[in-house]
Copies of this chain bind each other. A is one copy, B any other.
Amino acid sequence: MVAKIAVVAGDGIGTEVVAQALKVLRVVLPGVETTDYDLGAARYNRTGEVLPDSVLDELRGHDAILLGAVGDPSVPPGVLERGLLLKLRFDFDQYVNLRPSRLWPGTTSPLAGVKPGEIDLVVVREGTEGLYVGAGGNLHPGTAAEVATEESLNTRHGVERVIRDAFARAAKRPRRKVTLVHKTNVLTHAGGLWARTFNAVKAEFPEIETEYQHVDAAAMFLVSNPQRYDVVVTDNLFGDILTDIAAAVTGGIGLAASGSINPERAFPSMFEPVHGSAPDIAGKGVADPSAAVLSTALLLDHLGHPEAAARVTEAVGAEVATRTPGSALSTDAIGDRLAAAVA
């Protein structure tokens, strides 16, 4: 059996882009077994269910999850995020949230003078700790005396494994550089743990160049000099923000792929475009499926098919390079082109 993939197409454009990703996947991985799971805003609105335990158990039996996008303005904030996306990241110990950003030939950066090929970075974002754990509460809610807390929890275990992953990835890249981003001058407790752990792991990788930056400085440099980054490792919340800036300077979330990865493969990893369900353009066949297809390349790489992954990534790059302003192909047509290109 080649691979068992759980498919969560989700809401809005999620279903449209996942259909294209699957077209491509079936070409490069013939015999791949896929099972569809109906999860997201539509199911929640229909049944009140977010992620039943029985479904979680079934997902566990797969090699990976391919997710389109979930969400709709009709669902209160947090319900699907906490109940579905973060639940999967945490329950399946997907501690490496991998987000590559490249400025592809054919795309235009909003940054003046930055040329395709110049930006090629990957953010290794921690996925199972920090402020995302959901610890906190509200005292005297709704009164003038209300206090709300959020607690960031960080362990040596959690920090060390993701930093080690970042170094291992950097070792395989030509520039071999890792930037740690945190806010050690203010978040001294968590920052101290991150900085000490970074220094310990760094000693094991003497061939890798390293640097440290505060998150505010990194946010600025991602705009003024994104070329300087190779691998960036950071915590869950900082990674959320920095990867959106990285997506913005490489032309937007239309091409931003991500993987929520358990490197040991003890649990299924999850691959999804960074963009959301985009209800405003859903159903029109105009969504760009490239980010979903690039996420499928990350899936292939994770499952031990690096050549297939490279083929898919190159196909997307080549397709994007043929684009001319004002003549956008449909979602389906792009999928067809990519499927043909990888054949």
Binding site for B on A (CB under 8 A): 77-78, 81-82, 86, 108-113, 131-132, 134, 136-138, 141-157, 183-193, 195-196, 215-217, 219-221, 223-224, 237, 240-245, 247-249, 252-253
Name the residue in A144, A145, A192, A252 with the highest tally of chain B Cβ atoms < 10 Å from its Cβ: A192
For A193, what are the chain B residues with a Cβ–Cβ distance below 8 Å? 138, 141, 146, 148
Given known contacts A150-B154, A151-B152, what 9 new A-B pairs fall within 8 Å (CB)?
A108-B112, A111-B112, A131-B187, A144-B156, A149-B154, A150-B152, A219-B241, A220-B244, A220-B252
Shortest beta-carbon distance, A15 to chain B, in Å? 21
For A112, what are the chain B residues with a Cβ–Cβ distance below 8 Å? 108-113
Q: In the complex, are the beta carbons of A190 and B78 less than 8 A apart?
A: no
CB contact under 8 A between A137 and B241, given known A146-B156, A151-B149? no
CA gap between A319 and B210 in the complex, in Å: 39
CB contact under 8 A between A216 and B188, given known A150-B152, A154-B149, A223-B248? no
Shortest beta-carbon distance, A308 to chain B, in Å? 30
Shortest beta-carbon distance, A80 to chain B, in Å? 8
CA gap between A143 and B156 in the complex, in Å: 8
Shortest beta-carbon distance, A147 to chain B, in Å? 5
A138 in complex: contacting residue of B138, B183, B189, CB < 8 Å? B189
Q: In the complex, are the beta carbons of A252 and B224 less than 8 A apart?
A: yes
CA gap between A81 and B186 in the complex, in Å: 7
